């Protein structure tokens, strides 16, 4: 019996349909990678599964007593003096159990919440979710803010999780995590067995077939439109059926939701001069007596692509703000 079933689901915000007759079922033990372009409604779908959002129409059923935990893309902790106090105030979890998962994710329970980095906040929310021992875990961009060690620890914990659905753009994470890929595309859900690499291969074949079918449809539709414009022969009684067929073609063509929108943006490039983008010389910055950078010399040229890595809380965001000039150095 599936953990939950979604059938003919409809959900819209204003004129934008996020779910348009979508159907989906999850079996116990599955690890789903939920993918789709930004803005298609993946986070909203997680909200429906978690019971936080109601469908406009459709059927939503889940097993009685199903325990679901969700970790949002940007989790918020309650304002308390320490991480442990904030999490215990947020949900009823055994204290020793919570401390065990905080330890596995390398986060001190006594860390002041005011001092948490984005990655440490994400690890705290993940620890609470795992400690609640859910039957189904929902994660929205879980690798955002996590350092490399944090991602490895998360993967190890997920390997022991009964069932999970993860929204992420991390291809390598999906390849290691997913047993099935579910794509949200133009309001519908499409399922592909296997990991992300398998999905890419199958999707390329599907898109090629879809493109051929749409070209054939558009060619036939264009020919019928040309015929109707010729006028007099289209008005003959014996051609009334053909006119009605054209009306149906028009409706079908208008209802087709394109994969790529028709909006075209033209951005004027500002005047660019020189190859130097940013230069830092002897830059130092500390917080609370803790040095973030010291005597840093850095030159960034146009075209450079820099990967900035380091453990959570090391000061990566602070360094970016220094480079951008939105934070002043101490020296």
- Say how many C-beta atoms besides its own lie within 10 A of residue 68's C-beta: 21
Structure confidence at residue 269 (pLDDT): 44
In the block, residue with structure tokens 């989906």: 24
Structure tokens at 120: 């440490």
103 pLDDT above the threshold of 90: yes
**Comparison of pLDDT for 11 and 273, the residue scoring more:** 11
Q: Give 270's pLDDT tier (boundaries 50, 70, 90).
A: very low
pLDDT digits (tens, 9 = 90+) for 188-233: 999 998 888 888 877 777 777 777 878 888 888 788 778 777 765 5
**Comparison of pLDDT for 79 and 14, the residue scoring more:** 79
Query: Phi/psi of residue 52, each to 5°?
Result: -90, -25
Q: Give 255's pLDDT tier (boundaries 50, 70, 90).
A: low
Structure confidence at residue 266 (pLDDT): 38
Summarize the confidence of residues 68-79 as an average pLDDT. Answer: 90
CA distance 32 to 80: 34
263 pLDDT above the threshold of 60: no
Summarize the confidence of residues 272-288 as an average pLDDT. Answer: 81
pLDDT digits (tens, 9 = 90+) for 128-163: 999 999 999 999 999 888 888 889 999 999 989 989
User: What is the 8-class DSSP label of residue 302?
Assistant: T
Query: Phi/psi of residue 39, each to 5°?
Result: 85, 0
Asked if residues 64 and 72 have their Cβ atoms less than 8 Å apart, the reply is: no
User: What is the 8-class DSSP label of residue 315?
Assistant: S
Mean confidence (pLDDT) of the chain: 85
Q: Give 72's pLDDT tier (boundaries 50, 70, 90).
A: very high
First to last CA, the chain: 64
Q: What is the DSSP string of 208-270?
A: HHHHHHHHHHHHHHHHHHHHHHT-GGGGSGGGHHHHHHHHHHHHHHHH---SS-S-----PPP
Asked if residues 163 and 180 have their Cβ atoms less than 8 Å apart, the reply is: no
pTM over 0.75? The answer is no
| Cα dihedral 213→214→219→220 (10° resolution) | 70
């Amino acid at each position: 019996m599936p953990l939950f079933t979604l059938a003919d689901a409809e959900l819209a915000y204003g004129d934008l349909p996020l779910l348009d007759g979508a159907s989906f079922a999850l079996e116990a033990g599955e690890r789903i990678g939920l993918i789709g372009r930004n803005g298609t409604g993946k986070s909203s779908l997680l909200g429906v599964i978690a019971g936080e959002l109601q469908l406009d129409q459709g059927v939503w059923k889940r097993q009685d007593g199903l325990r679901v935990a969700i970790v949002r893309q940007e989790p918020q902790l309650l304002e308390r003096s320490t991480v442990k106090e904030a999490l215990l105030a947020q949900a009823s979890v055994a204290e020793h159990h919570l401390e065990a998962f905080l330890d596995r994710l390398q986060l001190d329970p006594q860390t002041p919440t005011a001092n948490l980095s984005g990655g440490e906040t994400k690890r705290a929310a993940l620890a609470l979710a795992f400690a609640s021992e859910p039957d189904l875990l929902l994660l929205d961009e879980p690798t955002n803010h996590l350092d490399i060690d944090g991602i490895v620890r998360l993967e190890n914990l997920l390997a022991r999780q009964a069932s999970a659905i993860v929204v992420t753009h991390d291809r390598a994470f999906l390849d290691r995590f997913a047993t099935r890929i579910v794509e949200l595309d133009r309001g519908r859900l499409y399922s592909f067995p296997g990991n992300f690499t398998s999905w890419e291969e199958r999707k390329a074949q599907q898109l090629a077939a879809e493109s051929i079918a749409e070209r054939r449809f558009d060619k036939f539709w264009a020919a019928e439109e040309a015929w109707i414009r010729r006028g007099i022969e289209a008005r003959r009684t014996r051609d009334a059926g053909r006119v009605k067929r054209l009306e149906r073609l028009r409706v079908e063509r208008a209802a087709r939701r394109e994969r790529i929108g028709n909006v075209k943006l033209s951005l004027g490039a500002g005047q660019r001069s020189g190859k130097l983008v940013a230069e830092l010389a002897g830059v130092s910055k500390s917080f609370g007596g803790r040095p973030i950078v010291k005597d840093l010399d850095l030159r960034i040229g146009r075209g450079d692509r820099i990967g900035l890595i380091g453990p959570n809380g090391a000061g990566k965001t602070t360094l970016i703000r220094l480079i951008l000039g939105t934070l002043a150095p101490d020296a």
